[in-house]
């Protein structure tokens, strides 16, 4: 099953991925980014928008 994961060492917590997600699958929670796989449709908008390259699709 494919899903999007966040590399917490690269993530700047800028919120760019949260602002482009149409499905509310991403959320900034205090000092980390939470990705909800049950809401994510793998549309890749967040991956393409991330200025730090912190998001990636994995199997």
For position 31, what pLDDT does the model report? 84
- Note the pTM of the prediction, 2 decimals: 0.87
Number of domains in the chain: 1
Mean pLDDT score of the chain, rounded to an integer?
Answer: 95
CATH number assigned to the domain comprising residue 31: 3.30.70.20
Give the pLDDT band of residue 57 (cuts 50, 70, 90).
very high
pLDDT digits (tens, 9 = 90+) for 8-28: 999 999 999 999 999 999 999
Q: What is the DSSP string of 2-54?
A: -EEEE-TTT-----HHHHH-TT--EEEETTEEEE-TTT-----HHHHH-TT--
Range of the domain at 12: 3-58
């Amino acid at each position: 099953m494919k899903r999007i994961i966040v590399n917490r060492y690269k993530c700047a917590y800028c919120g760019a991925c949260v602002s482009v997600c149409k499905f509310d699958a991403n959320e900034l929670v205090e000092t980390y980014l939470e990705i909800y796989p049950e809401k994510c449709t793998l549309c890749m908008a967040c991956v393409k928008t991330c200025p730090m390259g912190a998001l990636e699709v994995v199997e």
